[in-house]
A and B are shown apart, each in its own frame.
Chain A
Amino acid sequence: MRKGASGPLLILFKDILMIEHNKRWILQWFLPVLIILTLFYLFPLLDAIRLSFTNARIGLANVKFSLSSYEAVLTDPDLPVVLRNTVIFVIFTVFCQLTLGLLVGLLLETHLKGMGLLKLAMITAWVVPGVIAGITWNLLYSSASWGVINNTLELFGAEKISFMTNPSWALVATIIANVWRGTGFSGIMQYGALRGIDPQLYEAASIDGAGSFRRFWGITLPMLKPMLMINLVLITISTVNTYDAIWALTKGGPGISTTVLSLQTYKSTFLRLNLGQGAVYAVLMILSSTIFTAIYLRMMKEENRG
């Protein structure tokens, strides 16, 4: 660790963070994180922002600075649809992952027979790589012979559902597949937090004659709230960033009905080789993550005040 290079950086951060002089150790202990994040995230991010102000394409030699990428993306009639898809996808995914995770946590807490199997099932879904999850759900949803879900519906005399071909259903189907894969994380986190709740609180409430529902609203939820908020932020970020499972499942279609911002970034960069426009979408992705997080923080602050 060369001191010469890190010295000015440290002083800068010291001032920004308002760390007192006798606590320089704090800064030094931050160095590994600082260096790694700067090299692997900050520089590439700045590079992406630079590219967003160019007409760069992979393979194009004469790259010029211009606003053409922003102009193309922002005037694209598809952009409102993509943004709408993103918001729906994120909100429903996050809501379902949190609720299902909580439900699984509560079920596991009953310690009834067979709950271990549920935990195993949820965890297995969680470790499936995105691409495989997408391919699997595509097979399940299919209206062809191997489509288990539709054939089962038919068996019970119901109509087939065109999961992959009806634009609204396709978005629902994408959300379900993503919830399937992501619930493991939220479920495990919440189960742990549930177990951390002091049993005496429940006993006291029982003595006061509180029923299960009141115990849940009065004790469980408030005690879980910090964990729920953290989960909310982390799940939102990972949902905004999801692209591989959607690509393998629907390719963003039919039409653009399941194309979210991250997938649009992916399509622009890897399919159309349009680095400039891909970078603009990337900027929009980070903006939307930031906006979601800011909304949550605002919510948290207001709750605390009220």
Chain B
Amino acid sequence: MDRHYSPTQKVFIYIFYVILLVFFLLPVVYIFAMSLKTEAEVLDKVHLFNFYPKRPTLENFGRVIKNVRMDMYLANSAKLVITTSIGVLLAAFPSAFALSRGNFKRKELVMMGVLFFQMISPIIISISIYWYYSKLHLLNTYSGLALIYIAIHLPFTTFLMKGVFDAIPRDLDEAAHIDGCSRFATLLKVIIPTAVPGIASATIFNSINAWSQFIIPFFLISDNKLYPVSVGILQAQGSYQDVSTHYLAAASVIGLFPAVLLVLFLQKFIIRALTAGAVKG
């Protein structure tokens, strides 16, 4: 779409632009600057124009990788996020398909019922789940953790995938049906391939959420070797006696990097899926 803006319009646009850019960028740049500082510099007096590190050092990164083992936590999170993203899609596909293509009177009620679970915060369920898991010997296992991550992301994914499927013309199903495809084959061969942008956006939403889960992995895992990044980052924080902000900042930057990359890489799919009308009221 070619739109031309008058100079006054551009001035207005860029005023908003700068305000929003500073708002979103400041905390991230601040943390990044902090991650490059030495301990002596952390307590220096800083304002908007001088908070950059005067003697930038990569030492903090070296320390947190070597001592805090951020590399290990990254690998754990990656595994967990991949397992979750796949698992949640597999669980959501059939019901999203049924919600989209099935004809029944209380469809809205079902959708609301599924979304109701979205209201239940992980803090409410964590202690009960600890007890169940302890009896089922699922504590300290990725299977256990991945199952609950899948559950946490299931309501929203079902909702999103229903929208994605709705946006796919029914003519395609009918053509497949005439070709003799069963419902299952239609879902597998026709709907899912067409829904790739929608699947990608669900994956982004789920990955970001899974990446930053805190209380669930913290409560259900008691083994450093299994912690995801969101919990691992805090191992860089010292006791209350210590000045450890620069280490924590370095750990955060390492922890953020893959998530930002993932989103950057996949975001055009979100836009495409949403543009195609994946979310309708």
Contacts and interface: CB of A to CB of B under 8 A. Distances in A.
Q: In terms of DSSP, what is the predominant structure of the interface of chain B?
A: helix
A143 B277 CA distance: 46
Report the interface size class on chain A: 35 or more
A124 interface: yes
B270 A188 contact: yes
Given A48-B124, A243-B123, A121 B43 contact: no
Nearest to B263: A123
Nearest to B273: A192
B279 A189 contact: yes
Interface stretch (A60-68, A76-84, A167-175, A261-269): A261-269
A124 B102 contact: no
B233 interface: yes
Contacts of B152: 40
Nearest to A20: B104
B199 to A, nearest CB: 15
Nearest to B213: A129
Contacts of A152: 47-49
B158 A33 contact: yes
B207 to A, nearest CB: 9
B168 interface: no
Given A127-B211, A131-B214, A192-B273, A227 B124 contact: no
Q: Would you call the interface of chain A mostly helix, strand, loop, or mixed?
A: helix
A255 interface: no
B168 to A, nearest CB: 15
Contacts of A120: 260, 264
Given A18-B106, A146-B43, A193 B279 contact: yes
B35 to A, nearest CB: 11
Q: Which of A43, A123, A262 has the most CB of B within 10 A?
A: A123
A89 interface: no
Contacts of B125: 40-41, 44-45, 48
8 contacts: A37-B117, A45-B125, A111-B1, A124-B256, A128-B212, A132-B31, A183-B24, A192-B271
Interface of B: 1, 3, 5, 9-10, 13-14, 16-17, 20-21, 23-28, 30-31, 34, 42-49, 51, 90-92, 94-95, 97-98, 102-106, 109-110, 114-125, 127-129, 132, 147-148, 150-152, 154-156, 158, 183, 205, 208, 211-212, 214-215, 229-230, 233-234, 245, 248, 252, 255-256, 259-260, 263-264, 267, 270-281
Given A192-B273, A192-B279, 19 more contacts: A19-B105, A33-B91, A47-B128, A48-B125, A103-B16, A110-B5, A124-B28, A128-B212, A129-B229, A129-B230, A136-B252, A146-B42, A151-B46, A180-B23, A185-B205, A191-B271, A196-B275, A226-B280, A227-B279
Interface of A: 16-20, 23, 25-26, 29-34, 36-37, 39-45, 47-48, 58, 100, 103-104, 107, 110-112, 114-115, 117-133, 135-137, 139-140, 145-146, 148, 151-152, 154-155, 180, 183, 185, 188-189, 191-193, 195-196, 199, 212, 225-227, 229-230, 233-234, 237, 240-241, 243-244, 262, 265-266, 269, 275, 279, 282, 285-286, 289-290, 293, 300
